[in-house]
Copies of this chain bind each other. A is one copy, B any other.
Amino acid sequence: MAKNLAIRLTARPSGGPISEELFEIVELPQQPLHDGQFLVRQSSLSLDPAMFGWMLPDKDSYIPPVALGEVMRGSGVGEVLESRHPDFKTGDKVRGMFGWQTLITSNGSGVSKIDPSLSDEMVLSVFSLPGLTATHGFYHVLQPEVGQTLVVSGAAGSVGSIVGQLAKAEGLHVVGVAGSDEKCEWLTDELGFDAALNYKTADLENTLATLTPEGIDRYFENTGGAIQLPVYNRMNAHGRIAVCGLIAEYGGGTEPPGLSWINIIKKRLTVQGFTMPDHLHQAPTLLEKLTPHVVAGKIKYRSHVLEGLPSAIEGLNLFTNGGNKGKLMVRL
């Protein structure tokens, strides 16, 4: 019987890069299937910034942390190898929270079948957490209006790039913030953003003032870091901010000082945090909003594919060092 290659979390990160010392790579024997079960071979595992949160023992987080000794949490795409379940048959393409492992025995809970004509890259880059997160945050949290100016940080990331493209499709003026000139060129030349700025090299305050001459009405926050204050200071009255990620502020240790709420009163801002696990039941509604834009060719994406399960570990650092060139995933 095939062995399941799996990665378990064995220690909690305490700041600094993620390394093999936090994990254990094991080969687990497969048990025969019972009635009502099926076996999935995972073909692609998604890497997501939320994984940093899942590794930390934070009682306040939106879902429980991964317990030490457990297989690390993750979502992925795979194929049914063998089935004793009435709803799944050998060869079905499926998605689910399969974890960092190659073989999964499932009873079907949380697993859904997907169109086999879609590539793993399309599924994980668009019709999955990134697309759902972008769609919920853009439409439901930011409640945008035509002609407004939207800034999105982490704009070349899997969520940010979809937010910006949705905003362009809906008639907003869109400025992306990213961490390299190459990413900025991709945003403006390929995705049609009105402008982009490289937060590592730009004079943030002046560049932002030039690129948002009418101020900022909507801010989709994926990163935190040095861009946050200049954006906050250019928000227009009644502006809305969706706080989706603060990758620059993760990594353990003490939280950096934040922003005074004086702007929130003076400009009557609404700052709202969200995480997708609260909204997964809205997935059908969200897909109804997202899919037409995809079908119309308005949503382009790039994937950054790592090879082999162990590359997931070092792969997480690409979120914090800016090395990711698109939706991160691991081909198993």
Contact = CB atoms under 8 A, between A and B. Distances in A.
Interface of A: 53, 58, 60-62, 221, 224, 228, 237-238, 243-246, 249, 255-275, 278
Contacts of A61: 266
Contacts of A62: 237, 266, 268
Copies in the complex: 2
Given A255-B260, A258-B259, A275 B271 contact: no
Contacts of A266: 53, 58, 60-62, 273
16 contacts: A61-B266, A243-B261, A246-B262, A249-B260, A255-B262, A258-B259, A261-B273, A264-B271, A265-B274, A265-B275, A268-B273, A268-B275, A270-B270, A270-B271, A270-B272, A271-B271
Nearest to A278: B268
A271 B261 CA distance: 9
B264 A273 contact: yes
Contact of A244 (B246, B265, B270): B265
B269 A260 contact: no
Most buried by B among A257, A262, A278: A262
